[in-house]
Amino acid sequence: MGLLSEYINKGLSILELEKELRTLIKRYNEIRKSWLFVYASANGVNGNFIPDSMVNMDDYYIIHDMLKDCNSKSLDFYIETPGGSGEAAEEIVRCLRRKFENVSFVVSGEAKSAGTIIVLSGDEILMTRSGSLGPIDAQVSIGRTRISAYDYMEWVDEKRKIAEKTGRLNPFDATMIAQISPGELNGVMHSLKFAEDLVKEWLPKYKFKNWNVTESRKIKVTQKMKEERAIEIAADLMNHRKWRSHGRSIKIEDLENIGLIITKVDDDLELANIVYKIQTVLRMIFSSSSIYKVYATEKAKISKQAAPIKSSPAVSP
């Protein structure tokens, strides 16, 4: 029997599931001798996308508040998110790095886009077989929607090349291009560069800080070598022509192939059981309620819940 079926058969209420989550966090801490913080978002509630499920500045303030009384020198941070603001990702990482000497990220679900950027700031990345990161770039607001900055710039460049080659655009593309201001275009370009710069800064500073000798040739690793490797990895993760989709799942094997060392959670059966249970309980909470975001430690939990929009009462003539 799978874990999901096991929890469904238990028929736990939301309050019982939340209690179970804190119990699992406590057991995780006992196994890892660490302090686990869970940050998880649902992609939607009852099939509806909720903008606040994305990484945003309110997450930073809540995380900062929940961590302020923690006395541990090390933090394990379970993260599950569809992505969001690069600026908020930067603030969250700064908060974690000011507070803790060592930060490890645990990925068993999806940590996409801004979530991937956050994970790449870790001293250690722990992943289960089900876990995945995604291509890195910023998600920017265009009109009423948020889209991939990379995809946006690729579309603009494609139309520019067509115009240079043929001297014209079809009426639809011409109308769309006419609505783009130089300021908006520069903003998207800077957002894309911002995400890349964060990864190039954080990898040498944190992930590679204890990388002193190359694995095969046993050559001493210099700071320049760390920076060059970071540039290569950032370029690889930003190569949407390789990954084909902003939502593409990048697994352990993919990350190892581009030069990242990943701690495989499944190699530790006891730890893997706890991490998979945490992921399953979170799925149960999201699917059984209107809760769309959870922040939790062994001792505390905050959740965000979607509220239905009430229609205005009809006015009789």
How many Cβ atoms from other residues are within 10 Å of residue 4's Cβ?
15
Cα 108 to Cα 279: distance, rounded to the nearest angstrom: 7
How would DSSP label each residue in 155-200?
HHHHHHHHHHHHS---HHHHHHHHT--HHHHHHHHHHHHHHHHHHH
- Lowest pLDDT segment from 39-43, 91-95, 215-219, 239-243: 239-243
- Determine contact, residues 292/41, Cβ cutoff 8 Å: yes
Helix/strand/coil for 309 = coil
Q: What is the mean pLDDT of the chain?
A: 86
Region of 303 on the Ramachandran plot (φ > 0 left; ψ -120 to 50 alpha; else beta): beta
Torsional class of 11: left (φ above 0), alpha (ψ -120 to 50), beta (otherwise): left
| Phi and psi torsions of 266, nearest 5° | -65, -15
Q: End-to-end alpha-carbon separation of the chain, Å? A: 60
Q: pTM for this one? A: 0.84
Residues 258-296: tens digit of each pLDDT = 989 999 999 999 999 999 999 999 999 999 999 999 999
302 membership: H or E segment, kind and range:
strand 301-305
pLDDT of res. 159: 82
Helix (H) or strand (E) holding 102: strand 102-107
pLDDT-derived band at 315 (thresholds 50, 70, 90) equals: very low
Burial code of 254-268, b = ≥16 C-beta within 10 A, e = fewer?
Answer: bbeebebebeebbee
Q: What is the pLDDT of residue 306?
A: 84
DSSP-derived secondary structure letter, 204:
I
For the stretch 177-234, pLDDT in tens is 777 777 666 666 667 788 889 999 999 999 999 888 887 788 898 999 999 999 999 8
Share of the chain above pLDDT 90, in %: 56
Strands 102-107 and 145-148, by their bridges, are: unpaired
